[in-house]
Amino acid sequence: MAEQTALEPVDFVVVANRLPVDRKSDADGNSVWRTSPGGLVTALEPVMQEHHGAWVGWHGATDEPLDPFEYSGYQLVPVPLSAQEVEEYYEGFSNGTLWPLYHDVVAKPEYHREWWDSYVEVNQRFAEAAAAVAAHGATVWVQDYQLQLVPQMLRALREDLRIGFFLHIPFPPVELFQQLPWRRQIIEGLLGADLIGFQTAGGAQNFTRIARQRLRLDTHRESITLPSGRTCRAAAYPISIDARGFETLAQSQPIQQRARELRHELGDPEVIFLGVDRLDYTKGIYHRLRAYGELVAEGVVDPAKCAFLQVATPSRERVDEYKRLRDEIDMLVGRINGDFGGIGRPPITYMHMSFPREEMAAMYTAADVCVVTPLRDGMNLVCKEYIACRSNNDGALILSEFAGAAGELRQAYMINPYDVNGMKQGMVLAMNDTVQNKRRRMRALRRQVFTHDIDTWADSFLKDLANVPSNE
Ligand code: ADP
Ligand code: F6P
């Protein structure tokens, strides 16, 4: 980690719950920095490397104020959180209330007034930190559901700023959103932005509809007029990845070699299935492994010829739903492997850990079928990473119709994760389809991902934000 620096006002500021690096303790109790989990960091890191400026965010430790420091060509501005705030703002309101509510209530959202109070307080702290580092007239880009009040709070502090907001997760239909006791405050918070980006057109429409119905605001297509006369735009900007970066990495000699080793370590199977996720109940990991287990039990998939590699990054481990999910997956994998495995031949190889980007690229390169089955997902970057790594136009992608990415990746083998038989059929088809069919599909998928990469995403959002009429 590079030197600490004095806080220089900058023209471009990203504000996100997490910094791109996370402060952890190693086995000896020493503090070390690790790459933060999740798609937001994967997507925004290359954007910051191009635009420089400052990234304001929490550094992952509790009760530890840190000075700003330089990292990868831009400034990191750590925002401290107390242990109680982590419990109430992050694990509580962000991940116990908003996360399930915004993901089709696949788990039950909990509503607690003290969680909300903490959310307000922490959002105010982030707004103040952003205001302190932004130069006059700067662009500030606020990210994701943890910080939905920041646009309005920031505007109250600094009228000169151009404020964008991007929601990385789905924005729910009005019928679900209106459960939230603090729905009005959230909408007003977001409307502090000049431009609000969503993953899909459906999310943008849900938001515009709720602004019209709840706040009685005038809306016209993507435009919402506020009582002050200012307009805010709500539109879709499907996020993506550094496709070329992934492809280059995957084509490199060490990664190709590592992919061959992986296949060998898995017992040189004819078909490798791959699942890559944060261990989250929205990802449909249980559903997918259960479907695969049934195929093995029925003898449709022969574990002597096929291997399923599932890697899951530990995530939000103190939240009850996540603890339960971990136990359920452990049990399911244990049962399938116990019932159908041979010596050195478990049907499912399951690893509950994070890997460096290089190892991920080797897994994508080795896998014949990538299985992405969320019950609901804002976008899902794993499927795009897999596609980027398939430079021979081979491999097959199974994709849930409930991932935001399904709108763009129409040539995937599309499945409904709630339909176990449909998912099993999808797996069998993806495994047995002709080489020509797979190539045709993969070529189309690659065209989409390479023409809509992370630069296209950031450029189109920032260009539209720059075109918003100035407040001055
Ligand atoms: P989310 O943002 O909900 O976690 P995404 O699919 O959009 O979901 O992004 C997940 C990101 O995390 C991807 O960049 C993927 O490569 C990375 N990732 C997922 N699992 C692992 C793992 N076990 N080790 C390292 N990175 C992982
Ligand atoms: O958008 C997905 C997301 O929730 C990000 O906001 C977040 O940074 C990432 O997944 C990982 O989750 P967490 O920060 O809670 O570990």
Report, as an integer, the average pLDDT of 174-179: 97
Burial of 64-90, coded b for 16+ CB within 10 Å and e otherwise, reads: eeeebeebeebbbbbbebeeebbbbbb
Number of domain units in the chain: 2
Q: Is residue 134 part of a domain?
A: yes
The Cα diameter of the chain in Å comes to 71
Residue 404 Cβ contacting ligand 1 at under 6 Å: no
* CA 90 to ligand 2: nearest atom: 15
Residue 256 Cβ contacting ligand 1 at under 6 Å: no
Q: Are residues 186 and 307 in the same domain?
A: no
Residue 390 scores a pLDDT above 80:
yes
Residue 37 Cβ contacting ligand 2 at under 6 Å: yes
- Percent of the chain at pLDDT > 70 equals 98
Report, as an integer, the average pLDDT of 2-21: 84
Please report, for the domain that includes residue 109, its CATH number: 3.40.50.2000
Distance between Cα 441 and ligand 2 center (Å): 30
Residue 238 Cβ contacting ligand 1 at under 6 Å: no
Distance between Cα 179 and ligand 2 center (Å): 23
Q: Is residue 439 part of a domain?
A: yes
pLDDT category at 24 given cuts 50, 70, 90 is: confident
CA distance 375 to 372: 10
Rama region for 66: left / alpha / beta (φ>0; ψ in -120 to 50; rest): beta
Q: Are 101 and 107 in contact (CB under 8 A)?
A: no
Nearest to 55 by CA among 23, 88, 12: 12
Q: Are residues 217 and 261 in the same domain?
A: no
Rounded to the nearest integer, the mean pLDDT of the chain is 96
Distance between Cα 17 and ligand 2 center (Å): 8
pLDDT at 8: 80
Q: Are residues 271 and 235 in the same domain?
A: no
CA distance 161 to 138: 5
Residue 470 scores a pLDDT above 70:
no
pLDDT category at 29 given cuts 50, 70, 90 is: confident
Report the DSSP beta bridge partners of residue 224.
Answer: 219, 232
* CA 282 to ligand 1: nearest atom: 3
Q: What amino acid is encoded at 306 in this protein?
A: C
Q: Are residues 256 and 327 in the same domain?
A: yes
- Percent of the chain at pLDDT > 90 equals 93
The pLDDT tens digits of the residues spanning 236-247 come to 999 999 999 999
pLDDT at 471: 56
Q: Are residues 252 and 284 in the same domain?
A: yes
Q: Are residues 349 and 460 in the same domain?
A: no
Residue 2 scores a pLDDT above 50:
no
Structural tokens at position 259: 């992919």
Q: Is residue 195 part of a domain?
A: yes
If you take atom 1 of ligand 2, which residue's CA is the nearest one? Answer: 168
Q: Are residues 258 and 140 in the same domain?
A: no
Q: Are residues 115 and 262 in the same domain?
A: no
CA distance 82 to 88: 10
Residue 358 Cβ contacting ligand 1 at under 6 Å: no
Under 8 Å CB-to-CB from 330, ≥6 apart: which residues?
none
The pLDDT tens digits of the residues spanning 31-41 come to 889 999 999 99
pLDDT at 191: 98
Report the DSSP beta bridge partners of residue 219.
Answer: 224
What kind and span of H or E run contains 220?
strand 218-220
Report, as an integer, the average pLDDT of 207-218: 96
Nearest to 62 by CA among 40, 44, 87: 87
Q: Are residues 178 and 280 in the same domain?
A: no
* CA 372 to ligand 1: nearest atom: 6
Q: Is residue 4 part of a domain?
A: no
Q: Is residue 122 part of a domain?
A: yes
Relative to beta strand 271-278, strand 369-372 is: parallel
Report the DSSP beta bridge partners of residue 398.
Answer: 371, 413
Q: Are residues 257 and 396 in the same domain?
A: yes
Distance between Cα 453 and ligand 2 center (Å): 20
Q: What amino acid is encoded at 234 in this protein?
A: A
Least reliable range by pLDDT among 30-34, 72-76, 295-299, 405-409: 30-34
Q: What amino acid is encoded at 345 in this protein?
A: R
Q: Is residue 347 part of a domain?
A: yes
Report the DSSP beta bridge partners of residue 277.
Answer: 312
What are φ and ψ of residue 36, in 5° steps?
A: -75, 150
Q: Are 38 and 57 in contact (CB under 8 A)?
A: no
Q: Look up the domain containing 31 and give its range.
A: 10-239+456-466
Distance between Cα 97 and ligand 1 center (Å): 22
pLDDT at 31: 84
The residue assigned the tokens 């003290």 is 114
If you take atom 12 of ligand 2, which residue's CA is the nearest one? Answer: 38
Ligand 1 binding pocket mutation candidate from 242, 278, 322, 365 (most atoms within 8 A of CB): 278
Relative to beta strand 134-143, strand 162-166 is: parallel
How many CB atoms within 10 Å of residue 435? 9
For residue 125, give Cα distances in angstroms to 48, 70, 135, 319: 22, 21, 18, 24
Structural tokens at position 412: 């995937």
pLDDT category at 5 given cuts 50, 70, 90 is: low
Distance between Cα 39 and ligand 2 center (Å): 7
If you take atom 15 of ligand 1, which residue's CA is the nearest one? Answer: 382
Report the DSSP beta bridge partners of residue 403.
Answer: 377
The pLDDT tens digits of the residues spanning 411-426 come to 999 999 999 999 999 9
Nearest to 136 by CA among 368, 469, 470: 470
What kind and span of H or E run contains 462?
helix 454-466
Q: Is residue 5 part of a domain?
A: no
What ligand is nearest to the CA atom of residue 313? 1
pLDDT at 6: 62
What ligand is nearest to the CA atom of residue 143? 2
Q: Are residues 79 and 136 in the same domain?
A: yes
Distance between Cα 425 and ligand 2 center (Å): 32
Distance between Cα 78 and ligand 1 center (Å): 23
The pLDDT tens digits of the residues spanning 53-71 come to 999 999 999 999 999 999 9
The pLDDT tens digits of the residues spanning 120-163 come to 999 999 999 999 999 999 999 999 999 999 999 999 999 999 99
Q: Are residues 397 and 352 in the same domain?
A: yes
pLDDT category at 25 given cuts 50, 70, 90 is: confident
Q: Is residue 471 part of a domain?
A: no
The pLDDT tens digits of the residues spanning 275-325 come to 999 999 999 999 999 999 999 999 999 999 999 999 999 999 999 999 999
Distance between Cα 382 and ligand 1 center (Å): 6
Q: What amino acid is encoded at 190 in this protein?
A: L
